[in-house]
Amino acid sequence: MPRALPSAIFSDDFSNNRFVTPKKCGSRMNRRKLGFISAVTITSLLPLESDAARFKGYPQPTMPPPVSANQNHEPLHPHELRGPIERESQLLAPQSDREQKAEDTDEAEVDEPWSGTLFGERFHVFGPNQSVTGEFAYTGEVFNNAHGGISTSGATAYRGNLDLVLSIDMDACVGIPGGTFFIYGQNNHGRSITTDYVGDYQTLSNLDADPFSQISEYWWMQEFGEGNLWFKLGKQDANADFCALDLAGDFIGSSFGVIPNVPLPTFPSPGMGAAAFVNWSDSLTLKAGIYDGDPHGGAWGFDNLGSNGTFSIFEAAWQPRFGANAQLTGVYRLGVWRHSEDVEHLDGSGQSRTDNHGIYTAIDQLVYRENDDPESDEGMGIFFQYGWAPEQYNEIGHYYGGGLNYKGLIPGREDDYIGLGYAYAEWSRTLQKNEGYSYEAVVELFYLIQVTDYMVLQPDLQFISNPGGLDGRDALALGLRFEIVL
């Protein structure tokens, strides 16, 4: 919460980018029969995080509490805060800052980071040997459909999301080195701007879902050796670890978090699963996971486990460095997925086949540091997404996305971000021929304002061309999101 960053892409030290999750979303799991899911996310580099679920990173055993947003030079993303996060792992964070913190042992220095929350440390660290860390965040937004879409009459909707997270350092609690237990509760409420007024397929808000209160995730993570191998087991959001971009994590549109033709078990319906991660080398991380093929977020994950097949995924993440001083960091991800349940052809023949599948790539690249200074934490990064799935039985055959994110563009506003993104979903040729579907394209522009250590405001504008892919009226949606870390 989330989640989100913009993300780990602004860090010089990939060895610390352990958990960066992407924001995720979309109510399509409930609305789309083929199960395509949208989400906005930031991904992790090593255990690799996401934003989609809603937090920026998973808890790392023995990790100190997160620093405030101003201290770590990144905006708060309540729906992406998954326990203590090493925020100085941002791509743009000066290396000297991280080295200095590693040397700090003074207790006051360790406690100071909780100034980045509304209520302070005593509401966030407790339990035996202070082994339990709590993070609590609220995100709210107002959107208006100002033009086109389904309707502009009374087309203003509010949506909110409350995240409650507890993570337990099992070493400090019961003496299990490298173990972490994580539990994540959510309450999502409000009206859908997409369903009621715009009609877009890609879902313009990554908070959009049918209202719910649920335990979204609970899992055990176990590290081995020096942290180069780790596993996760339990109910989890796959978008926290797979198919997510760091630089796209601040965008509100769902497709920037989860590629819409990659049917991940993610917000609002994470599922039971197991995932493994290994740092193959200093610049290459390999990840694999297998999850319930048709999860229901409101349940504990065992009600229909395996009854609709399994969803499996593999991803490789390469983290190169460019520039004279290796100051331009990047993350290049390539993934493949498979769903074992039968899927019907879209031509109406009634035929079906087993083993739906697809591929995707997601790229983050820092292209400019202000003054070309490795110690600068301001600059610009670009991102790119692509997803492919067989057009005979997937609504979206090809998806393309990309954009840029700049930190500190305006003098005197070094902690603010501005982003511009483009997302293009192309319907399969079968649906184009038989039913007239074509494409849907989204342009999003936002400016994220760091108001206090624990609060951000984000004005957002989205232009949706051909919403729904079937002769929809081009829509213009205006919104304002706020996020508070409690």
Scan for tokens 């405030």, then name that residue.
Answer: 68
- For residue 133, the surrounding DSSP H or E stretch is strand 132-147
- With bands split at pLDDT 50, 70 and 90, how would you rate the model's confidence at 390? very high
Mean pLDDT for 209-215 is: 95
Tell me what the pLDDT averaged over the chain comes to: 79
For position 101, which CATH number holds?
2.40.160.180
Q: What are the backbone dihedrals phi and psi of residue 196, each rounded to the nearest 5 degrees, phi first?
A: -85, -30
CA distance 21 to 15: 16
185 lies in some domain? yes
1 lies in some domain? no
Q: Which of 430, 432, 394 is nearest to 260 (CA)?
A: 394
Please give the pLDDT value at position 447: 97
CA distance 39 to 161: 14
Mean pLDDT for 291-312 is: 87
Residue 37 in tokens: 């899911």
- With bands split at pLDDT 50, 70 and 90, how would you rate the model's confidence at 47? very low
Please give the pLDDT value at position 12: 39
Please give the pLDDT value at position 155: 97
Please give the pLDDT value at position 110: 41
CB 288 within 8 A of CB 314: yes
CA 218 to chain CA mean position, Å: 17
171 lies in some domain? yes
- Asked if omega into 268 is within 30° of 0 (cis), the reply is yes
What residue type is assigned to position 415 of the chain? Answer: D
Residue 364 in tokens: 């983050």
Please give the pLDDT value at position 7: 35
CB 86 within 8 A of CB 63: yes
DSSP state of 81: B
Does residue 183 carry a pLDDT above 90?
Answer: yes
Please give the pLDDT value at position 137: 93
Please give the pLDDT value at position 130: 86
User: Around Cβ 153, how many Cβ atoms within 10 Å?
Assistant: 7
Please give the pLDDT value at position 344: 86
300 lies in some domain? yes
Q: Where is pLDDT greater, at 267 or 32?
A: 267
Please give the pLDDT value at position 182: 96
CB 269 within 8 A of CB 295: yes
Please give the pLDDT value at position 16: 30
Q: Where is pLDDT greater, at 375 or 322?
A: 322
Scan for tokens 């003054």, then name that residue.
Answer: 371
SS3 8: helix
- With bands split at pLDDT 50, 70 and 90, how would you rate the model's confidence at 302? confident
Residue 209 in tokens: 């879902």
71 lies in some domain? yes
Scan for tokens 């990144």, then name that residue.
Answer: 74
Q: Any idea which of 49-63, 156-170, 448-462 has the lowest mean pLDDT?
A: 49-63
Please give the pLDDT value at position 146: 97
Mean pLDDT for 332-359 is: 90
Mean pLDDT for 100-116 is: 47
pLDDT tens profile 111-151: 455 667 787 777 788 888 888 998 999 999 999 999 999 99
3 lies in some domain? no
CA 423 to chain CA mean position, Å: 16
Scan for tokens 């600059």, then name that residue.
Answer: 379
Q: Among 12-21, 84-93, 105-114, 392-401, which range has the highest average pLDDT?
A: 392-401
38 lies in some domain? yes
- For residue 223, the surrounding DSSP H or E stretch is strand 212-224
Please give the pLDDT value at position 354: 84
Q: What are the backbone dihedrals phi and psi of residue 430, each rounded to the nearest 5 degrees, phi first?
A: -65, -45
Q: Where is pLDDT greater, at 444 or 44?
A: 444
Domain count, the chain: 1
Does residue 66 carry a pLDDT above 80?
Answer: no
Q: Which of 333, 257, 336 is nearest to 289 (CA)?
A: 336
Please give the pLDDT value at position 114: 62
Q: Any idea which of 18-32, 112-126, 320-334, 450-464 has the lowest mean pLDDT?
A: 18-32
2 lies in some domain? no
Q: Where is pLDDT greater, at 10 or 221?
A: 221
Mean pLDDT for 160-176 is: 93
Domain that residue 385 falls in: 8-485
Q: Which of 253, 236, 240, 227 is nearest to 28 (CA)?
A: 253
Q: Any idea which of 159-173, 255-269, 361-375, 469-483 has the lowest mean pLDDT?
A: 361-375
